């Protein structure tokens, strides 16, 4: 079996990708970033950013975590010049991480054309440099993996999600770090999760996190249940929650993390994506792409995405393994899917066999394999306002 390899970062983490980010710090710089990146479509040059002009601690923390992600090799920052984003702080954080970083301020440099010229020249230099960057051996125990389900239907909780859970159990047993989400789709499962904690002291935090999600949804008048879920055979949020819960597997839950917080140790963690306090900015699950980005901001090298109805999205920074739960959906959308969990109800595979296939697909990424979404050019990115009280990860030994 070929060993995994990765790019070693100054903090000791290793990346399975070596991406150059072009990052806008306000929506007014988004178009310029897209133009800077356009000539590099065939390279790992990707556009991310924060759209808002109003200050946001959440946006700042997310961008700092994303720009220093182990899959990132260099960062081109682009500011308009009059936004409130703390750009110098972000540049300092990236520089301190050992990554090359360049900051362009459009208003100061003389406008769009000057920004394009400098930005493209800098990115081209970084692409050339990173192309020859050496790689080092990497073990499965060094992986951080996230999982999400979207476009769910009645098959998601029967095939794709439990198969992802089997893969998670294998990764945790081998010393990797795994994260599942989201608390808004785990309503009704809080006491079951609480029985799985590695330390009884974590039980109240698990229950409180899900109760917070239920309160938030009630205040918003909105729940994580779409028309597509109903058309796909799901009846209630409780039924959807049972299916979503299955992707966590059966390993002990070691703690709770928030967006942009790294899990403090090995094991299985719950990602709480629901804002704190009264509703201000951001739905609990604005969309699947936003939640994938939050998993990545916590350090996920790759994300397992289970879908029953079908989804075509990938993500910037980290590859997304698409697991199709529904055999009929896979028949229609095979080009977008990496793993066919729809074989299970047709008798073509067991949960354990598909779990092993998901496991193997993740490990293959560390040997140079590309996902379907990567091959098709998917680098979706969404980062909007959200409020979250700063806190340490809830974790117990």
Q: Tell me, what's the pLDDT at 395?
A: 56
Q: What is the pTM of this model?
A: 0.94
Same domain, 156 and 132: no
Q: What are the structure tokens assigned to 227, written together?
A: 């028309």
Sheet holding 45-49, edge to edge: 45-49, 19-24, 72-79, 101-105
Same domain, 192 and 324: yes
More confident residue, 252 or 274: 252
Nearest to 150 by CA among 214, 232, 46: 232
Task: Return the percentage of the chain with pLDDT > 70, whole number.
Answer: 90
Same domain, 163 and 282: yes
User: Which parts of 187-324 fold into alpha helices (H)?
Assistant: 190-194, 203-220, 227-231, 237-245, 288-297
Binned at pLDDT 50, 70 and 90, residue 1 comes out as: very low
Same domain, 80 and 167: no
pLDDT at residue 293 tops 80: yes
Same domain, 59 and 164: no
Same domain, 265 and 339: yes
Q: Tell me, what's the pLDDT at 225?
A: 59
Same domain, 228 and 338: yes
Binned at pLDDT 50, 70 and 90, residue 234 comes out as: low
Q: Which domain holds residue 192?
A: 140-395
**What's the sign of the alpha-carbon dihedral 24, 20, 297, 147?**
positive
Last residue of a domain, one of 110, 136, 162: 136
Least confident of 36-45, 206-215, 385-394: 385-394
Nearest to 351 by CA among 220, 170, 112: 170
Same domain, 226 and 79: no
Same domain, 209 and 128: no
Total of domains in the chain: 2
Residues 267-289 have a mean pLDDT of: 80
Structure confidence by residue, pLDDT tens digits, 242-256: 677 889 999 999 999
Distance separating alpha carbons of residues 172 and 300, to the nearest angstrom: 14
């Amino acid at each position: 079996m070929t060993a995994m390899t990765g790019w070693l970062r100054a903090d000791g983490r290793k990346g399975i990708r070596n991406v150059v980010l072009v990052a806008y710090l306000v929506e007014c710089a988004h178009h310029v970033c897209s133009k800077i990146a356009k000539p590099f479509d065939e390279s790992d040059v990707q556009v991310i950013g924060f759209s808002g002009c109003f200050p946001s601690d959440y946006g700042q923390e997310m961008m700092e975590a994303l720009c220093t992600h182990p899959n990132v090799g260099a960062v081109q920052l682009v500011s308009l010049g009059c936004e409130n984003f703390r750009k110098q702080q972000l540049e300092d954080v990236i520089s301190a991480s050992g990554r090359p970083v360049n900051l362009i301020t459009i208003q100061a440099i003389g406008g769009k054309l000057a920004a394009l010229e400098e930005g493209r020249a800098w990115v081209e230099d970084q692409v050339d440099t990173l192309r020859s960057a050496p790689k080092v051996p990497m073990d499965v125990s060094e992986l951080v993996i996230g999982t999400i389900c979207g476009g769910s239907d009645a098959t998601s909780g029967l095939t794709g999600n439990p198969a992802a859970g089997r893969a998670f159990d294998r990764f945790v047993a081998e010393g990797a770090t795994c994260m599942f989400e989201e608390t808004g789709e785990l309503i009704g499962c809080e006491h079951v999760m609480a029985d799985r904690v590695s330390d009884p002291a974590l039980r109240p935090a698990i229950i409180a996190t899900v109760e917070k999600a239920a309160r938030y949804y009630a205040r918003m008048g909105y729940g994580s249940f779409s028309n597509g879920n109903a058309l796909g055979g799901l009846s209630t949020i409780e039924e959807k929650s049972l299916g979503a819960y299955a992707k966590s597997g059966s390993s002990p839950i070691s703690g709770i993390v928030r967006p942009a917080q790294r899990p403090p140790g090995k094991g299985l963690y719950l990602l709480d994506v629901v804002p704190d306090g009264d509703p201000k900015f951001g739905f609990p699950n604005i969309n699947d792409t936003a939640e994938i980005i939050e998993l990545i901001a916590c350090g996920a090298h790759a994300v397992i995405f289970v879908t029953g109805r079908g989804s075509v999205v990938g993500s910037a920074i980290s590859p997304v393994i698409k697991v199709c739960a529904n055999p009929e959906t896979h028949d229609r959308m095979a080009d977008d899917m990496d793993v066919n969990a729809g074989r299970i109800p047709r008798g073509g595979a067991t949960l354990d066999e598909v779990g092993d296939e998901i496991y193997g697909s993740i490990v293959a990424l560390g040997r140079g394999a590309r996902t379907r979404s990567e091959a098709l050019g998917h680098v979706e990115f969404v980062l909007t306002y959200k409020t979250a009280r700063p806190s340490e990860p809830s974790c117990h030994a």
